[in-house]
Amino acid sequence: MLLKFLGTGTSQGIPVIGSHHPVCLSNNPKDKRLRTSALVTSDSGKKILIDCGPDFRQQMLVNREEQIDAVLVTHEHNDHIIGLDDLRPLIFKNKKSMPIYCNSRVAKEITGRFPYAFIEQKYPGAPSFDLIEIERDFTLFDEVKVQPIDVIHAEINIFGFKFKNLAYITDASNISDGEKEKLKSLDFLIVNCLRKTTPHHSHFILPQVLDLVDELKPKKTYLIHISHDLGFHDEVEMELPQNIHPAYDGLEIEF
């Protein structure tokens, strides 16, 4: 299987509009981060999108991707779902509704933000979504086992997702001991890391991530949902332990 990072930036992306922070002015492509999202490709070629934010259309075009077979949604914040309408060309191409897997709260939010996708008499160009509420492990396409990981994002419970021995977690600020048991000794831990210092109410920062890695002991860790305050990609790469890396848009890993 293959995971491609379509975006690795925080909710504002990098560069931030109007910002003159040095990282926002960087010419290094690895310092330019679209909103966080990923694409998992199964062994048979099925494409599973994790989150669909405002940069989805651009991410698909830049990466020359033309197929989405299912969508997994971590939570309902705009930088993770507001691009769902841009699935329309793929829905029309496939001539069937797009399956979207999420918890019940997120399903209600998607219905409220895209009401035209669910009404009986739809506008001819409206998308069609098949919302599938999940709570426990499930299998996609009879080949990809998906294990939801329950994590805390400020005041709400959101999902991370585990495939084989890889876990993808974004927007976490806390993980219970019970859920951590599912994350021990991974080959790959992908986890949000907003910045180096100054605690945040809803996101891990670097010291917390380092503690988490020390506790869970994954073979390799990639950081996502990064703000410009984490620093220049190349400098952060040099500063981190050898088994921890800042991910960047377009990076692919096999697992």
Q: Rounded CA gap, 198 and 207, in Å? A: 10
Q: What is the pLDDT of residues 159-176, one digit of tens each?
A: 999 999 999 999 999 999
* Mean pLDDT computed over 215-241: 98
Residue 224 β-bridge partners:
192
Structure confidence at residue 142 (pLDDT)? 96
* Mean pLDDT computed over 123-127: 92
Structure confidence at residue 189 (pLDDT)? 98
* Mean pLDDT computed over 125-138: 96
Task: Report the helix count and the strand count for the chain, using DSSP H and E.
Answer: 7, 14
Confidence band for 42, pLDDT divided at 50, 70 and 90: very high
Q: Which amino acid is at 68?
A: I
Q: What is the pLDDT of residues 58-91, one digit of tens each?
A: 999 999 999 999 999 999 999 999 999 999 999 9
Which among 128, 149, 147, 126 has a CA at the least distance from the CA of 138?
147
If you average pLDDT over every residue of the chain, what do you get?
Answer: 97
Structure confidence at residue 9 (pLDDT)? 98
Please state the domain extents for the chain: 2-254
**4 is written with which tokens?**
């491609």
* Mean pLDDT computed over 185-199: 97
On the question of a cis peptide bond just before residue 124, with omega within 30 degrees of 0, the verdict is no
Percent of the chain with pLDDT over 70: 100
126-143 per-residue burial string, b: 16 or more CB within 10 A, e: under 16:
bbbbebeebeeeeebeee
Please give the model's pTM, rounded to 2 decimal places: 0.96
Confidence band for 131, pLDDT divided at 50, 70 and 90: very high
Q: Rounded CA gap, 101 and 194, in Å? A: 26
* Mean pLDDT computed over 221-228: 98
Confidence band for 98, pLDDT divided at 50, 70 and 90: very high
Q: Which CATH architecture has domain 2-254?
A: 4-Layer Sandwich (3.60)
Min mean pLDDT across 25-34, 50-59, 116-125, 147-156 is at 116-125
